[in-house]
Amino acid sequence: GAVVSQHPSRVICKSGTSVKIECRSLDFQATTMFWYRQFPKQSLMLMATSNEGSKATYEQGVEKDKFLINHASLTLSTLTVTSAHPEDSSFYICSARGSGQSNQPQHFGDGTRLSIL
C-alpha cells in the first residue's frame, strides 16, 4: 500500500526557533501533498495544498510567511514553521495523493508533534 513518511515525529524547542518537517511518499509519486494541523480533541484543519513544482495554496487565515512550504520533487514536501512560538505547538500531519485518477484517497504521514517552550 501507499506509504507516507513524516519526519521528525517529535520536536521540542525554544521559542523563536524555526522547525522543518519533511513529508515523503515512499512508494508512489505524489503530485499533491497536504499539510494539516490538529489541536487536542479538535478536527484536522487543512493549512495548505502543495503541488509539485508550484507555489502552495494556503487556506484562509494561514500565514504563508510563517508556514513555508516547498514541494520540489514528486516525493518530498517540506513545511518550515518559522520563528515558532508556543501557540504554534500542535500536531502537524502531512498527506499525499498519487497522480492519476481523481478518486484516489490521501495517505497520511505519522504526524509531527511540535512543542514550543
Rounded to a whole number of angstroms, the distance between the first and last alpha carbons of the chain is 37
Closer CB to another protein, 83 or 99, in the complex: 99
Instruction: Give the Å distances, CA to CA, from 68 to 33, 35, 58, 61.
Output: 14, 11, 10, 14
**Shorter beta-carbon distance to another protein: residue 18 or 39:** 39
Quote the Cα angle for 21-23-2, to 5°: 155
| Residue with Cβ nearer another protein (34 or 67) | 34
Query: Whats the size of the chain, residue-wise?
Result: 117
Instruction: Give min distance, CB of 16 to another protein, in A.
Output: 26
Least Å distance, CB 95 to another protein, is 8
Q: Which residues bind another protein (CB under 8 A)?
A: 6, 32, 34, 43-44, 46, 49, 51, 91, 93, 102-103, 105-111, 113
